[in-house]
Amino acid sequence: MLYNLKIKVTSPWLGDIRRAKDTHRRFQRGNTPDILAFDLPRLYWTLEEARDALKLPHVDIKTIRMEEGFRSPTLTSYRRRFSSRQGTQKQEDFFEAIRENTLLNMQVLVTRQMTQHTSASKPPTQEELSQIFKFVGAMLGLSPWGGHFGYGRFELISLEPHEHSSAMG
């Protein structure tokens, strides 16, 4: 089942890739420069954490497939100020970021159950998938850097089955 996922970013979503001589940590890019790529290991970790916290052990997270990446209508620069580990020096770091209140649209594919899985392991229903994304948005975020500081949080706006148009063939 193919779904259209719409989220509203509620805290800055920060990039994490620092390249030589670059002043900002940036988002990983997909096949084209306008596609922001998912950190797939982090994505699946967050989905598994949500599944476990919601007590949905029968949901097979590996049946959830996200697009290669997504487009953000805008990107901005974000300055994070913090104290050194000893707490004596003020420091700052710069990030490419998706700002709060940005609406993002993505597609999510839920595949059928794989034959090597047990009967206790099934793809999520639409309701279970909604619960998982609501939890991830509220508690974990999707920022590849600093999710534990509250970055990359979002609100689930909608998760609807994808409707095929006649233009798609």
- Kindly state the helix (H) or strand (E) to which residue 14 belongs, with its residue range: strand 13-14
Domains defined for the chain, CATH in brackets: 2-162 (3.30.70)
Q: Looking up tokens 């839920």, which residue turns up?
A: 110
- The whole-angstrom separation of Cα 32 and Cα 18 is 18
Residue 165 has pLDDT above 80, yes or no: no
**Contact (CB, 8 A) for 61 and 44:** yes
At 67 the pLDDT is 86
Per-residue pLDDT of 54-94, as tens digits, reads: 999 999 999 999 988 899 999 999 998 887 777 678 888 89
Per-residue pLDDT of 24-55, as tens digits, reads: 999 999 888 899 998 888 899 999 999 999 99
CA 84 vs CA 22, 79, 143, 144, 151: distances in Å: 21, 15, 22, 21, 19
Per-residue pLDDT of 126-138, as tens digits, reads: 999 999 999 999 9
